[in-house]
Amino acid sequence: MTGRKIGGALAAAALGLTLGACGPGGGAGGDQPYLAIVSKGFQHQFWQAVKQGAEQEARRRGARVTFVGPATEQDVEEQMNMLTNELAKQPDALGFAALDSRAAAPLLQQAKANDIPVIAFDSGVDSDVPLTTVATDNRAAAAEAAKHMAELLDGQGEVAMVVHDQTSRSGIDRRDGFTEWMASNAPGITVLPPQYGGGDQLESANITKSFLSANPNLEGIYASNEGSAIGVIKGAQESGREEVTIVGFDSGKAQIDAIRNGRMAGAVTQNPIGMGERLVDSALRAVEGAQLPESIDTGYFWYDHENLDDPKIKEVLYQ
């Protein structure tokens, strides 16, 4: 048994004991529906925007939410501890964005056994417990990034990928959506094997410097989330290779500044405030016993220096 599996098993056992100690009806919601949300992180502006949307919708609907996430998007063990703690409070429903699509399975089964509806968001999980998944169509959005990269390079050249992880559904879909589009539509572009930086800016910058050092003819780099993109921008700058074409995901302030000053060509922005709103709406509908669709697509947009100030785009930027 790996360390990760051991941690998950211990967390599941702890949850079972805690729920047993609380007993039925021991929830922390009071008179308002109480929704516990466990995200993949807390430090990026993306997650703060999801939190803002969730809190806005909760206020409108007379519900109460808590929102927690680990310090880094590599800390699966810490996220499992947070999930255990939140479930022990016996919420009326749970929102969950998995760092590891399989590690949480025992805890999600515990939630199901205790009649706590689970709504996945941002990333799906390898489990039939969540009633729906509120997320961007990440595979389609990554294909959009690939299309723009190919256009910017006139269909020729060598491209690298800095991906936030290979265990979450979003990481897998953003990697595969990019490579699949390139394989089908841009035969003149060679995509190097991906490297994984955990969404950490420093790690992603170091990966970028290694890519550029080992591949002097590299013409483009794709970054799959906010932390990855900021790291790639820094890595290219510190390598003296600011001419490299960079495309990515998300729209934190550092990325928007980089697009304005030409260091980043463009990116796919999601709708994190809308994601938080739909998450809470879905959780409340689940509490009421409503049937939910298998997935809820919250949309995406490509933005660059040409449309950065378009009102439609500005609505979904979250700097």
CATH number at residue 40: 3.40.50.2300
**Mean pLDDT, rounded, of the chain:** 89
Question: Is there a single domain that holds both residue 148 and residue 201?
Answer: yes
Q: Rounded to whole angstroms, how far apart are CA atoms 278 and 282?
A: 6
Note the pLDDT tens digit of each residue in 97-142.
Answer: 999 878 899 999 999 999 999 999 998 787 899 999 999 999 999 9
How many Cβ atoms are within 10 Å of 24's Cβ, its own excluded? 9
Question: Is there a single domain that holds both residue 188 and residue 262?
Answer: yes
Q: Is residue 221 part of a domain?
A: yes
Number of domains in the chain: 2
Q: Is the dihedral of CA 282, 60, 253, 268 positive or negative?
A: positive
Question: Is there a single domain that holds both residue 146 and residue 62?
Answer: no
Q: Is residue 68 part of a domain?
A: yes
Question: Is there a single domain that holds both residue 254 and residue 291?
Answer: no
Q: Is residue 16 part of a domain?
A: no
Pull the structure tokens for residue 291: 């049937």
Question: Is there a single domain that holds both residue 88 and residue 107?
Answer: yes
pLDDT band at 30 (very low <50, low <70, confident <90, very high): low
CB 203 within 8 A of CB 209: no
Question: Is there a single domain that holds both residue 143 and residue 266?
Answer: yes
**Mean pLDDT, rounded, for 300-313:** 94
Output the pLDDT for position 10: 40
Q: Is residue 285 part of a domain?
A: yes
Note the pLDDT tens digit of each residue in 72-87.
Answer: 888 999 999 999 999 9
Question: Is there a single domain that holds both residue 235 and residue 127?
Answer: no
CB 229 within 8 A of CB 199: no
Question: Is there a single domain that holds both residue 263 and residue 282?
Answer: no
Q: Is residue 144 part of a domain?
A: yes
Question: Is there a single domain that holds both residue 262 and residue 147?
Answer: yes
The domain of 227 spans 138-270
Question: Is there a single domain that holds both residue 236 and residue 293?
Answer: no
Q: Is residue 15 part of a domain?
A: no
Question: Is there a single domain that holds both residue 146 and residue 127?
Answer: no
Question: Is there a single domain that holds both residue 113 and residue 156?
Answer: no
Note the pLDDT tens digit of each residue in 35-80.
Answer: 999 999 887 788 999 999 999 999 999 999 999 999 888 899 999 9
Helix ranges (DSSP H) in the chain: 3-22, 45-61, 76-88, 105-113, 138-152, 169-185, 201-214, 226-238, 253-260, 272-287, 311-314
Note the pLDDT tens digit of each residue in 193-214.
Answer: 999 999 999 999 999 999 999 9
Q: Rounded to whole angstroms, how far apart are CA atoms 302 and 270?
A: 9
Longest Cα–Cα distance in the chain: 63
